Structure 1
Amino acid sequence: MYGEHHDLRHDLPEHEDAIHALKISNAHFAKLFDEYHEVDREIRRIEQEIEARGDFAMEDLKKQRIQLKDELLAMIRAHEIAEGTN
């Protein structure tokens, strides 16, 4: 859906504690988290026609968002396994 937020806390509420812990303890996770949300904001701006981009650029951004989300989720799951909270 256009303009839909894909905030990780919204998409993954069951992992909120792990997300918070990783954001404050893991600089790489925090960097990817910020990058993910920047890409998501850019996609929403294009969808809302605030910014103009071609279809290929939009698809590239969506692929980047999926890749970042997959990487972040893998880190979240590894953290939860290590902490015994999964």
Structure 2
Amino acid sequence: MSHIPHELKEEFPADAETIRHLASENPQFAALTKRYDIVNAEIHRIEGGEDAASDTRWEELKKERLHLKDSIFAQLVHLRNA
């Protein structure tokens, strides 16, 4: 287990300000980033041994985090191209 936080500001360092701005202006984007933070925190607790989870649950969470990250990235790309 990697035990790396994967915070959005670390995943998208060049876009940290844009993410904050979008989250404050767009409720759907805010919900997306909030869900990412919740899932990411849960994964981090599992990897750190603070919470227990089956391998299946852990894999599901990692897949959800990746999907959320992809969705956030797609919106950032769309904004850049607009």
Q: For the superposition of Structure 1 and Structure 2, which TM-score range results when normalised by the shorter chain?
A: over 0.9
Higher normalized contact order (CA 8 Å, seq sep 6+, divided by chain length): 1
Find out whether 1:17 has 2:21 as its counterpart: no
Larger Rg belongs to:
1
Task: Give the CA RMSD over aligned residues.
Answer: 1.1
Question: By how many angstroms is 1:17 displaced?
Answer: 2.8
Query: Equivalents in 1 of 2:72, 2:38: separation in Å?
Result: 14
TM-score by length of 1: 0.88
What amino acid is aligned across from residue 59 of structure 2 in structure 1? E
What amino acid is aligned across from residue 3 of structure 2 in structure 1? G
> 2:3 aligns to what SS in structure 1?
coil
Q: Is the 8 A contact 1:22 1:76 kept in 2?
A: no
TM-score by length of 2: 0.92
Question: By how many angstroms is 1:11 displaced?
Answer: 1.2
Question: By how many angstroms is 1:2 displaced?
Answer: 2.4
Equivalent in the alignment of 1:77: 77
Runs of 4+ in 1 over 3 A off after TM superposition: none
Query: Equivalents in 1 of 2:70, 2:38: separation in Å?
Result: 16
